[in-house]
A and B are shown apart, each in its own frame.
Chain A
Amino acid sequence: MEPARPTETEAEITVKDLTMAYGSYVLMRDLSFSIRRASIFIIMGGSGSGKSTLLRHMIGLKEPAKGDILYGNESFTQADPADRERMLRRVGILFQSGALFSSLTLAENVGLALEEFTELRPAEIREVASLKLSLVGLKGFEDFYPAQISGGMQKRAGLARAMALDPAILYFDEPSAGLDPISSRRLDELILELRESLGTTIVVVTHELASIFTIGDDCVFLDPETRTMIATGNPRELRDHSDDPKVRTFLRRGDDGQASNEQERERG
């Protein structure tokens, strides 16, 4: 049976006037944007602009200094721990390093959430875990420990774990960091596939331009100098039509405007 495709205009996640701070040091302020259901949303910006910190705020690992984060129409920031847990049950996260539990095998890693939050029997848990691993191309590695596989495989296993409970929202923290171009591209294809087949809302923190243009429906651009967001919208349109030279420069890999493009052509 096809999963019901939700209406795509609805906001799945809304960030409202968010200010992020470490103590008295304000990292970013006045962040406001919303993420449409079943879209792929990119959080981008240069190194140190607070992309990953923004993600940590959205999943409750850091508390906002000001502002609110809403899932649907429900405030996440003001929710009590039990409600937060309920909201996070719909969320899967792929951490930067994969963050697999090193004392568990891959199947146990993927199965952990199933074991704790479903009524499945052990044999069924293993089957589901095995299926999720096969989705990321790791069939046959069920009984390997994280230390026995490569970094790229760990990342894919982390994704399988994030998908264990069929989350409605998937977060990716720098998915292509440390991956070779082919694995990185496969991951992009997988992200697109997840959105197409399951209607998952996907939020990706990245500065990998190729990925941004391949998968991004919408994006937000964080600027460390002004300490706020300076652009939102479709990344391809921003590249071609943004008013802000910083955004254009970033999305064109350092080349701003036509003149330098021509120079590049002459040189090449």
Chain B
Amino acid sequence: MKLERLPQGALRVRLAGAWGLASGLPSFDPIRRELASEPPPGRVTFDVGELKEWDSGVLSFLVRIEDLCSERGVATDRDSLPDGLRRLIALAEAVPETKDAKQEEKRPSFLERIGLGAQGVGSGAVEMVHFLGEAAGSFARLLRGRARFRGVDLFLLIQDAGAQALPIVSLISFLVGLILAFVGAVQLEQFGAQIYVANLVGIAMAREMGAMMAAIIMAGRTGAAYAAQIGTMRVNQEIDALVTMGLPPIDFLVLPRMLALCLMMPLLAVFADFVGMIGGGVVGVSMLDLPPIVYYQQSASAVDLVDFATGIFKASIFGVLIAFSGCLRGMQCGNNASAVGDAATSAVVTGIVMIIVTDAMLTVLFNIFGI
């Protein structure tokens, strides 16, 4: 690009060679300087005699010159431009800029953001209570035999939340039992009380860790899946279709999921309890040289039915919480693909928070009542 002042006070912009988006555009500053200089050019003309190739890079450059000139009231002479370029410039200018179309990015102030955040928490809580009410209503309909869902759906959900979750639950609870035994063994060995590792692992698994670990696995595995399934159904208008067909999604989708997890979680927890004890036993036998039969008898005498019952009770509550958070986030899902991902993530976070908070409350309650 070259700039020349013509004798009559006009500015000639000479464009030469190959211009393209790929090769980059020259700096705009010289033209700006020329236009700002004294005396300002009366008009701007173009010389494109040596312009070999061009694409929309030239176009955007020319449109900027036009903009700048019209700002300063300088006329431009387009006649010397190639026909194609002239028509494209005319097309770009055909519809004037829509003034209010540009969305104003107004950054809220710090206080405003705190307020918005608080409002969000408030409305989120209201939605959650609302959903809880709907779920309770649906459960009441189930008891009266008027809830509408397909038995085969419930069966498949139970299969997925039950049998198919066994391998991962086994692995994790075995390792948790192992870890508990290790930590306990190091401490108890100092007092020569290695045998009590069996008590420690047995009671911890039955009362707490079995239900808790199963719940956390299921929140990540099944809670997220529920949110993603229901969220995708919302994006795909399947939820709308259900509503208009007279099949309330709360009965048709949420209720069977809650039932499935509420029924399967206690079973998974009991399973996890035993696998965890086996994990503890492995440490006891191999590291502490306890005979297997002794470890077994010690465990059997340490853990009673009440310990199992508290774990089972917790597990079914956790099951409801996981299904609740998964379905809640799925139903709240926005209508695009990334919203489904957010819903799944949020379901896991909500689920785990609810599980831990509830577990803490229940543990304190059991302690107060001496269970």
A116:B247 contact, CB within 8 angstroms = yes
Q: Indicate the member of B236, B240, B245 with the most A CB atoms within 10 Å.
A: B245
Q: Indicate the member of B236, B238, B240 with the most A CB atoms within 10 Å.
A: B238
8 A-B pairs closest in CB distance:
A99-B237, A99-B241, A85-B246, A95-B237, A59-B244, A99-B238, A93-B244, A113-B245
B148:A95 contact, CB within 8 angstroms = no
Residues B95-151 near A (CB distance < 8 A): 148, 150
1/0 contact string of B210-254 vs chain A (CB within 8 Å):
000000000000000000000011001110110111110000000
- A214 close to chain B: CB less than 8 A: no
CA distance A96 to B235 in the complex (A): 12
B-side contacts of A246, CB under 8 Å? none
Q: Considering only CB atoms, which chain A residue lies closest to B149 in the complex? A: A116
A99:B240 contact, CB within 8 angstroms = yes
Cβ distance A44 to chain B, nearest Cβ, rounded Å: 21
Cβ distance A202 to chain B, nearest Cβ, rounded Å: 16
1/0 contact string of B55-83 vs chain A (CB within 8 Å):
00000000000000000000000000000
Chain A contact-residue range equals 20 to 34
Cβ distance B94 to chain A, nearest Cβ, rounded Å: 14
CA distance A56 to B240 in the complex (A): 9
CA distance A127 to B259 in the complex (A): 32
Residues A89-121 near B (CB distance < 8 A): 89, 91, 93, 95-97, 99-102, 112-113, 115-117
CA distance A89 to B246 in the complex (A): 7
B-side contacts of A85, CB under 8 Å? 246
Residues A42-101 near B (CB distance < 8 A): 56, 59-61, 85, 88-89, 91, 93, 95-97, 99-101
CA distance A197 to B88 in the complex (A): 53
Other-chain contact of A99, B148, B150, B236 (Cβ < 8 Å)? B236
Cβ distance A122 to chain B, nearest Cβ, rounded Å: 11
Cβ distance A71 to chain B, nearest Cβ, rounded Å: 13
A91:B236 contact, CB within 8 angstroms = no
B interface size (C-beta, 8 A):
14
1/0 contact string of A186-197 vs chain B (CB within 8 Å):
000000000000
- Residues in chain A within 8 A of chain B (CB atoms): 56, 59-61, 85, 88-89, 91, 93, 95-97, 99-102, 112-113, 115-117, 161
CA distance A59 to B243 in the complex (A): 10
B246:A102 contact, CB within 8 angstroms = no
Cβ distance A183 to chain B, nearest Cβ, rounded Å: 20
Other-chain contact of A91, B237, B238, B244 (Cβ < 8 Å)? B244
B241:A95 contact, CB within 8 angstroms = yes
B-side contacts of A97, CB under 8 Å? 236-237
CA distance A190 to B232 in the complex (A): 30
CA distance A97 to B244 in the complex (A): 15
Other-chain contact of A116, B148, B236, B243 (Cβ < 8 Å)? B148
Q: Considering only CB atoms, which chain B residue lies closest to A95 in the complex? A: B237
B-side contacts of A102, CB under 8 Å? 232-233, 236, 238
A-side contacts of B232, CB under 8 Å? 102
CA distance A93 to B233 in the complex (A): 16
A-side contacts of B240, CB under 8 Å? 56, 61, 95, 99
Q: Considering only CB atoms, which chain A residue lies closest to B243 in the complex? A: A61
Q: Considering only CB atoms, which chain A residue lies closest to B237 in the complex? A: A99
CA distance A88 to B245 in the complex (A): 7
B244:A61 contact, CB within 8 angstroms = yes
1/0 contact string of B243-283 vs chain A (CB within 8 Å):
11111000000000000000000000000000000000000
Cβ distance A108 to chain B, nearest Cβ, rounded Å: 9
CA distance A117 to B252 in the complex (A): 14
> Could you write out 25 A-B pairs with CB less than 8 Å apart?
A56-B240, A59-B244, A60-B243, A60-B244, A61-B240, A61-B244, A88-B244, A88-B245, A91-B244, A93-B241, A93-B244, A95-B241, A97-B236, A97-B237, A99-B236, A99-B237, A99-B240, A99-B241, A101-B233, A101-B241, A102-B233, A102-B238, A113-B245, A115-B150, A116-B246
B-side contacts of A112, CB under 8 Å? 245, 247
